[in-house]
Structure formats: C-alpha cells, structure tokens
Amino acid sequence: MPDAPLTITWVGHATVLVEVGDVRIVTDPALTGRLAHLRRRVPPPALPDVDVVAISHLHLDHLHGPSLRRVGGSGRVVVPRGAASLVASLPGRDATEVESGDVVEIAEGVRLRAVPANHSSSRGPQSRVRASPVGYVVEAAGRRVYFAGDTDLFDEMHELDLHGRIDVALLPIWGWGPTLGDRHLDPPRAAIATEWIDPVTVVPIHWGTYSPMRARPGSPPWLDRPIDAFRAALAEHDRADRLSVLRPGESLTLEPAR
C-alpha cells in the first residue's frame, strides 16, 4: 500500500497506534486504569481492532496481560525472543518471536524491523523468563517510524538510518515515577538520541500517563515536567524544530513518500 498515508496516534505511556491503509499496529499496550501500584492519569482513547501487537520488552507496563486482552482484532503478537510463553494464553493471536535484525512482513509494503535496545531483559523478581529487549522500525508508504520501547543510549542508534532516514522517532523521555532507574532515557539523553538518530520529527512518549497511587487527589506536580525539560534539551542540541508533542489520542499523519 505505497499510496496510503501513515498515521501515528499516541495512546499514552509507550502505547502507540500506527495505521497505514487498513493495517494497524499497536505497541506495548498499557490501557487499564491501574497497573499494579500505578494509576493512569489520562483516559485511554478507544483503540480500533489491530492486526499486530509489537512488544518491546517484558516489564509489566509494556507487556501487560489485562491490557493485551483489551486489544481487539486477531493476528500476531510480536515479542522479543524467549517471551512467547507470556502471551500464549491470548485468544486468537499467534506469537512471533524476534531479535534485533529480524524483519516481520505485516502486509504488502508494510514491514516491522526489530532493532537493538539498551534495557533490562528480565520480567521481574517473580519470573524466570528473560528476553533481550528490542525496538522496532515500521517501514511503510516509503516512511520509517522508529519505536524505541524503553531504552538508554546505544551505539547502534547512529545506524538506524541504514535503510533510509527515520521520519519519526518515538522516544521515551521519562517513566512513571518522580525519578528514573538505570537504562532509561531522560530528557537530556533523549535529546542526545535525537541528535544521533537525526529524525525528521521526534515524538516524546513514556511520560505524563501513569504515576504511583497516592493519598492526595489529582496528579503529582512532576507529571508534566519531562516535556518542558525535553524541549529545552532539544534546543541545546539545535533540534527544537524536530519536536512534535502529542497528547493521548492526538495523531500525526505522514503522506506517502514520493
């Protein structure tokens, strides 16, 4: 479908809907009002049925069974190699395991390329399942959309454009708490990633959606701070013009490349 526009909708956290023609791909669904001790601070927009669910890594806020069961449609769940057992119970969906370098043909003219990520390979302390995390590049309509999942900087970011320039980089800029653990991009490091990848547009994800439950009503005051810090960091790297800020439910559409 080379003549179809490509639409990117940020659903919240690391959940992004990519649509090209009648093909729909969703990443790392996190759709419930609660995730363990976390509360969703913005309502999730309604998702259409999807053809492919692409999972980047095993952490609960990225591979979440209840959220996966809310995703309509039938088709594949693409997971890092070693993680198929965690999605085996999903009705009507087959698991495809990938590692960096693998390419999944979604439909004619639509491909999902697995790329490296620098993040934890574990599910958590209660699970022995481990799988190396990945990111994905969606290639369709002559465009390339990079979904980083959860990652820190890694050298191969310089090489993500080997198959053509990245049109949109979906980069995590924070997490779900007031501080970040190791192997995450924060706003300054996400700005470095933007310089390394050199996309036409960068859309920040993985911020402003979930935070720990607390006694006080409302969202914590730090929830939206990462976006201002990212904007300032991009300016320091002369990349402020690349920024496109979406709120959950908002979309960005790319016309087919000519």
> Any idea which of 25-34, 87-96, 132-141 has the lowest mean pLDDT?
87-96
Percent of the chain with pLDDT over 90: 86
Domain ranges of the chain: 6-254
| Residues whose CB is less than 8 angstroms from the CB of residue 168 and which lie 6 or more positions away in sequence, other chains included | 8, 143, 144, 145, 146, 199, 200, 201, 202, 203, 244, 252, 254
Tell me the pLDDT tens digit for each residue of 177-191. Answer: 999 988 999 999 999
Q: How far apart are CA 161 and CA 41, in angstroms?
A: 35
| Residues 195, 237 contacting (CB under 8 angstroms) | yes
Q: Give burial (CB, 10 Å; 0-12/13-18/19+) of 174.
A: buried
Which CATH superfamily is 6-254 part of? Ribonuclease Z/Hydroxyacylglutathione hydrolase-like (3.60.15.10)
Tell me the pLDDT tens digit for each residue of 200-209. Answer: 999 999 999 9
Q: How far apart are CA 40 and CA 82, in angstroms?
A: 29
pTM over 0.85: yes
Say if residue 67's pLDDT is above 90: yes
Q: Give the mean pLDDT of the chain.
A: 94
Say if residue 2's pLDDT is above 60: no
Task: Give me the mean pLDDT over the 26-52 stretch.
Answer: 94
How long is the chain?
A: 258
Nearest alpha carbon to residue 1 among 51, 45, 46 = 51
